[in-house]
Amino acid sequence: MVTVLAPVAVAVALAVLLGRLAHQRLGFVTVVESVSMAPALTPGQRVLTLRAVATRAPRRGDVVVVESTEVGRPVVKRVVGLPGEHVDVGPDGTVVVAGLRLDEPYVVHAGGPPDRSFDVPPGHLLLLGDNRARSSDARSWHSPYVPVGAVLGRVVRPRWRGRGDAPGRGSRSSAAVPSGSPAPPAAQRGAG
């Protein structure tokens, strides 16, 4: 009996060890908390996120999970401005980089705060939500630039949806809670 259980115990221990290693080094599951990235990501949706150390440097158009000092928790946003770029955001949410308008087919909810211009400092990114009319992002943040080092990971694809993925639910800022991490207190979930 012991000889039969030993290989099973070793296999289970190895699976647990490999799972923890993958979670710590490669990626994690992010739970989208709001409508700020709709329709690409919806509240309750879970997405696979590759850790920043396990992936390439962020590129324009990437959806990233960042540790936001602005709202005090991780958020999900899209990279629109890279280090050293001049970025103009119009009142309808359109983005112009170095005089060229970005093609952003994922933005279907235009609008938001009045137009602004940004000069992205070295080592920083400019992030916006896809749902420009309902997103708390660089346009309204006190500190609009996010250090590249604050990027926790890059969202690679939708994984599965939870029960709370109905459109229109959630707060103004897409919060991200890495799987296995405690959820933020209810008072923080609506911060934006």
% residues pLDDT > 90 (the chain): 51
- Cα–chain center distance at 82: 16
Amino acid at 106: Y
Read off the pLDDT of residues 28-55 as tens digits, 9 standing for 90 and up. 999 999 899 999 999 999 999 999 876 7
Model confidence at 9, pLDDT cuts 50, 70, 90, reads low
Q: What is the pLDDT of residue 111?
A: 86
When pLDDT is cut at 50, 70 and 90, the band that residue 23 belongs to is very low
Fold that domain 2-180 belongs to in CATH = Umud Fragment, subunit A (2.10.109)
